[in-house]
Amino acid sequence: MVSGVKIAVIGAGYVGLTTAACLTSLGHRVVCADIDPAKVRALSRGEVTIREPGMAELVGVGLAEGRLRFVVGAGKAAPGAEVVFLCVPTPMGPDGAAKLAALEAAVAELRDPLPPDSVVVNKSTVPVGTAARVGELLGRPDVAVASNPEFLREGSAVHDFLNPDRIVIGSADLDAAKRVAALYEALNAPVLLTDPASSEMIKYAANCYLATRLSFVNSIAELCERMGADVNDVTRGMGYDQRIGTAFLRPGPGWGGSCFPKDAHALLRSAAVIGSDFPLLRAAIDTNARQQRLVVGKIRQAVGGRLAGTRVGLLGLTFKAGTDDLRDSPALAIAELLAAEGAELVGYDPSMPGAVAGIRVVDSAYAAAAGASALVLLTEWPEFRELDWERIAGQISGRYVIDARNHLDPLVVHHAGLLHQCLGQPAPQRALSR
């Protein structure tokens, strides 16, 4: 294993901090830079700023061993670096395209202090052609550029980084690509060496395929519901087919998070820029918005047709369970639609977010249920399955529990005298008694 390579990581968010901490654990020496001085101060004290299992331990060990340091500004991390990973945000711009301002700012800072023969690696998700653009912006023929997209999921970032399904590296400079591949030598994963454009496209293709698959499943769920089929059995039956597989077949309130929506829009925009189109992807995006409206429709129906002045309890606010990330959360999009119709929103999330606009955030599921005309489960936190539904039945003012993740045991909810309405199943029978 190559040990002790000097690495700079630019950006200390989900991807940057994970990259820095995990590469340190693989024996490399990492300087991680961020523009946010408060974040750098906290991380330097070992205070991890995101909720990721295993992260605090890795950062603690890295700091203690002197293998991991945090600095303010990309320029401070560059001196001495053999490989530099760019892990800065590439958010969605007004036209849907990925905004590259942070990437360009980081590259400008790196241009002068980068040592000769170093490699700059794009780990951020960036449109096809960005590696070439980074090369131009750097204007350093002695520095190679590579693309090495990241496939980790939030909530299991450390595990995913250290146990990847594959490692993709694209570079016009094969030697540079091999140097990047060597950093991961200790990991047991197939390595795909390719050109930069293919590497960049692999990332978008993977995320957009998964998003499209979810829109497909959500549409199947809607048909199941209207045709008297049960989507849980239908997806199970699909999943046994090894060509389909079981993962990513759970219907839900629409896909969200900091990446699927922005990446889907960015690929669509990239297609438009070259005068092409991607109608399937466009339909996946539209289906996702429609899914959120469908969930709102169920809630409206559950409270008798009128949301104005009605209290709705929300269970789960993050874009999925196991993360504290609220970015592009379907739960918040649904909350916004409910608020637009005048509903009063009371929400609880186990990650205990601070204030969330338009929602009175409370500190327990029971407090969210108290006095609510309907209770809506929007994020599949395991603890929601353990709730005392008899207690909720005693506090809620309506009778409906809308389970937008098919997460709860319907029998337990029905047994408490409540009506469990999930996705892709016929409407619930009225419970006999409370």
Ligand X SMILES: O=C(O)[C@H]1O[C@H](OP(=O)(O)OP(=O)(O)OC[C@H]2O[C@@H](n3ccc(=O)[nH]c3=O)[C@H](O)[C@@H]2O)[C@H](O)[C@@H](O)[C@@H]1O
Ligand Y SMILES: NC(=O)C1=CN([C@@H]2O[C@H](COP(=O)(O)OP(=O)(O)OC[C@H]3O[C@@H](n4cnc5c(N)ncnc54)[C@H](O)[C@@H]3O)[C@@H](O)[C@H]2O)C=CC1
Q: How far apart are CA 90 and CA 301, in angstroms?
A: 39
Note whether 154 binds ligand X by CB under 6 A: yes
- Which among 50, 54, 45 has a CA at the least distance from the CA of 12? 50
Q: Which two tokens stand for residue 161?
A: 């980084």
Of 39, 179, 320, 420, the residue at the interface with ligand X (CB under 6 A) is 320
Q: Give the CB-side neighbour count of residue 328, counting CA atoms within 13 A.
A: 16
Q: Which two tokens stand for residue 228?
A: 């008297």
Lookup result for tokens 């690495």: 7
Q: Is 248 annotated as a binding residue?
A: yes
Q: Is 138 annotated as a binding residue?
A: no
**Could you list the residues that contact ligand Y (CB under 6 A)?**
10-16, 33-36, 39, 74, 87-90, 102, 105-106, 124-125, 150, 152, 154, 258-259
- At 199, is the secondary structure helix, strand, or coil? helix
Note whether 300 binds ligand X by CB under 6 A: no
The minimum distance between CB 325 and ligand Y, in angstroms, equals: 7
- Which among 294, 296, 305, 283 has a CA at the least distance from the CA of 223? 294
The minimum distance between CB 217 and ligand X, in angstroms, equals: 7
Q: Is 160 annotated as a binding residue?
A: no
Choose between 78 and 100: whose C-beta lies nearer to ligand X: 100
C-beta nearest to ligand X: residue: 259
* 426 DSSP 8-state letter: P
DSSP codes of every residue in 10-76: E--SHHHHHHHHHHHHTT-EEEEEES-HHHHHHHHTT---S--TTHHHHHHHHHHTT-EEEEESHHH
Q: Is 424 annotated as a binding residue?
A: no
Lookup result for tokens 């293998």: 67
Note whether 248 binds ligand X by CB under 6 A: yes
Note whether 259 binds ligand X by CB under 6 A: yes
DSSP codes of every residue in 272-328: HHTT---HHHHHHHHHHHHHHHHHHHHHHHHTTS--TT-EEEEE--SSSTT----TT
Alpha-carbon Rg for the chain in angstroms: 24
Choose between 124 and 310: whose C-beta lies nearer to ligand Y: 124
Q: Is 115 annotated as a binding residue?
A: no
Q: Is 154 annotated as a binding residue?
A: yes
Q: How far apart are CA 379 and CA 385, in angstroms?
A: 11
Whether 259 sits among the annotated catalytic residues: the reply is yes
Note whether 216 binds ligand X by CB under 6 A: no
C-beta nearest to ligand Y: residue: 13
Stretch that binds ligand X, among 222-230, 257-265, 366-374, 381-389 (CB under 6 A): 257-265
Note whether 260 binds ligand X by CB under 6 A: yes
**Which residues form the catalytic set?**
259
Binding site for ligand X (CB under 6 A): 125, 150-154, 207, 210, 214, 248-250, 252, 255-257, 259-260, 319-320, 330
Binding positions for substrate:
151-154, 203, 248-252, 256, 320
Binding positions for NAD(+):
34, 39, 90, 125, 154, 262, 327
